[in-house]
Structure 1
């Protein structure tokens, strides 16, 4: 098998021949005059852990509820595993949904909570309990089988809810802010557990979240939503390093954005004059644009370099250190340019203590390589 064929199996979205497992075509959902989801088309492939990422009110949960069958599209269609979902009620769809609240039965044990759906469907008790035991092993809760939900930690309750959703063996699991109720440290730990469980079972997951770090950590691909629309779909590294708009660049992580006009437009480079830097940004590749066109330049804080001596780099500008925030693993520098504009730079703290570290009120040079940023036309 060639490297290209292996990549196509691992990433079916790069293969033109792969068939989507979930196909959303021109879906619109209106609530009276309000358009919650606006003409969304999206393909999701079998075995993906796909994240719908966006701020509150962007339409991501409404889209998830239409997949589950809890909401009916105003326009458009949804197919799951080749079957049109039009007219199919939630209880007959090959899906299960895990809610943020978990909604565990407080009077039932962990074991009975997980078994409840199977027994309601008429699965024989012996088979149901065998499947429950498999799920308990998978989520590492065997020794908690006899406990009630109020005897569990938040992370344990989250795993019970996940096991209950998976024990019915859905083709597609829908998760609405599944880690939102956990504290930061537990949420970070549980993210890796979620990925491990998904990879073990091979079930297709669609996760709704507003947490950019969570989406970047767990997903195979991300669909960024804004005002009811999908504005960009891509792998986490693609979304972060190559945003297609100012909105995506600003929404994902931290970024410094500059507006400017093209002053030099060559096949292998362009120059962008920006008053905020009181200078010219040199970009080491060509861009499809017109001379004089207004562009936006985005550069991440970790791409910036700080030094007391002026470096020999194509993009070098003077700045003053206004603030320094020590975050443990890194330090965040808030820099003030001569124009009054502020920008952020981050530096990794490789040593416990650096005596000559750059500090407050110092005059420094901030610089970056000519391919460190991305040029945006919208």
Structure 2
């Protein structure tokens, strides 16, 4: 394998002077009175595996189709490698698109499916065949070159579609829910295959997905979309650990959210008064005023459950375990606090003792101040 296109210590988006490979500037797309994409601006860098993440109807696929040239923006500008795409038709753009359905030709062999686009462009049969076999080797399907699509598994068809999309050596590959048709186990395996192929070729990938786990696994960065707007852009860890809004915190993983008001500040901590948890200590946040409404986001895995009250901890609440779900590597607890509020807690089963906490137990839930994320919107 060649060196990854984006090395861990050379993330270009952290360099204010790095030129973007794709510049999306104030793009809006309307269908009649409905706005699918609303004034989106976004920079994506060469060699990235960028994920557009959001629920159905959020505008992510429409944005992808505008990059491909299948939809025309109502207003705004798209530049790819410095070239304005406004007058460039879909077939002339340095892009290729892989659809969720794969759209393979059922009457053609795997090899002919992959070579089809090259032959349409006038490449000789010998050269097109050689290029197709090279791509099939890349996706570990050279032994299946003469088979028809119906003779392949879902994962194999997905890799044929990927080979066909890459065979023309696009600068940018657009993938619309590429793993959506696969079962959970195969999808997880294929995610790492996709990363390996992308790193080997150095092609920039933009992946549209509604699956948070998929985006977190694949992406160099994620753009979270809702209602046609990019809500936050960041590296997976940044999106999960430091969301900038309640929407992002709730959309990515599971979270317990509490409303409160800003209380007095100390040198190293700030107090937030809440109805559900009482006074909560949190790291200081600049720009807040006393009495201001804020929201506290607390991930379930950052909460600790104990049978006795932990010593030296201020942020402790008492509750009753109502439900417990065992999912192998972890257990999920639904705990009703004394004021009736429900919270969710997850604990690793690797850390559980011989007498784990179970249903109908009175417990104490505690956390460190650093575990709490303070949000203003």
For Structure 1 versus Structure 2, the TM-score category normalised by the shorter chain is: over 0.9
Aligned to 1:33: 33
Contact 1:270 1:287 in 2 (8 A): no
How big is each residue's C-alpha offset from its partner over 1:197-219, in whole Å with a ceiling of 9 and x where there is no partner? 00000000000000000000000
Separation in structure 2 between the aligned mates of residue 186 and residue 281 of structure 1, nearest angstrom:
43
Q: Deviations over 1:351-374 (max 9, x none)?
A: 7x8431101111100000010120
Structure 2 CA distance for aligned equivalents of residues 284 and 291 of structure 1: 15
Tell me how far apart the structure 2 counterparts of residues 267 and 32 of structure 1 sit (CA, whole Å). 54
* 1:345 and 2:320 are equivalent in the alignment: no
**After alignment, is 236-245 or 119-128 more displaced?**
119-128
Distance in 2 (alpha carbons) for counterparts of 1:9 and 1:125? 43
1:320-339 map, 5 Å: 320-339=320-339
| Structure 1: gaps (5+ residues) | 1-5
Separation in 1, partners of 2:79, 2:336: 52
1:230 equivalent in structure 2? 230
- Other structure's SS at 1:257 match: strand
How many residues are treated as equivalent by the alignment? 371
Deviation at 1:97, TM superposition (A): 0.2
In structure 2, C-alpha distance between the alignment counterparts of 1:103 and 1:371, rounded to whole Å = 48
Cα distance in structure 1, aligned partners of 2:345 and 2:92: 52
Provide the aligned C-alpha RMSD in A.
1.3
Asked whether the 8 Å contact 1:95–1:172 carries over to 2, the reply is: yes
Answering whether residue 292 of structure 2 is matched by residue 293 of structure 1, we say yes
Equivalent residue for 2:376? 377
Match of 2:110 in 1: 110
Supply the distance in 2 between the matched residues of 1:10 and 1:204 (Cα, whole angstroms). 15
Match status 1:367 vs 2:359: no
Partner of 1:179: 179
Deviation at 1:16, TM superposition (A): 1.3
Give the aligned partner of residue 95 of structure 1: 95
How far 1:267 sits from its partner (Å)?
4.6
Q: In 2, distance between residues paired with 1:198 and 1:21?
A: 16
What does 1:139-178 align with in structure 2 at a 5 Å threshold? 139-178=139-178
Match of 2:214, SS state, is: helix
Report deviation, 1:268: 2.4
Q: Report deviation, 1:9.
A: 6.5
Q: CA deviation at 1:8?
A: 8.8
SS of equivalent residue, structure 1 residue 165: helix
Provide, for residues 304-347 of structure 1, a one-character-per-residue CA deviation record: whole Å limited to 9, x for no partner: 00001111323111111001100011000110011111111101
SS at match of 2:194: helix
Q: Distance in 1 between matches of 2:9 and 2:250?
A: 32
Would you say the 8 A contact 2:264–2:290 is kept in 1?
yes
Question: Normalised by the size of structure 1, how large is the TM-score?
Answer: 0.96
Question: How many angstroms does 1:301 deviate by?
Answer: 0.5
Query: Is the aligned partner of 1:319 residue 2:302?
Result: no
Task: State the Cα distance separating 1:124 from its structure 2 match.
Answer: 1.6
Give the match for residue 272 of structure 2.
272
For residue 10 of structure 1, give the secondary structure of its aligned residue in structure 2: coil
Q: How far apart in 2 are the matches of 1:269 and 1:50?
A: 36
Within 5 A, what are the aligned runs for 1:205-220? 205-220=205-220
Please give the secondary structure, in 2, of the residue aligned with 1:289: coil
Runs of 4+ in 1 over 6 A off after TM superposition: 6-9
Distance 1:202 1:309 in 2: 54
Maintained 8 Å contact 1:323/1:334: yes
Q: Give the CA deviation at 1:7.
A: 7.2
Q: Please say if 1:357 is aligned against 2:339.
A: no
Corresponding position: 1:72 with 2:93 = no
The 3-state SS of whatever aligns with 1:261 is: strand
1: distance between equivalents of 2:337 and 2:353?
25
Q: Secondary structure at the match of 1:350?
A: helix
Structure 1 residues 219-247: Cα deviation after superposition (integer angstroms, max 9, x where no partner) = 00000001000010000000000000000
The question of 1:23 aligning with 2:31 is answered: no
- What is the distance in 2 between the residues matched to 1:55 and 1:262? 32
Counterpart residue number, 2:47: 47
Q: What is the distance in 2 between the residues matched to 1:265 and 1:55?
A: 38
TM-score (normalizing by structure 2): 0.96
CA distance in 1, matches of 2:90, 2:253: 36
- How much does 1:287 deviate? 3.8
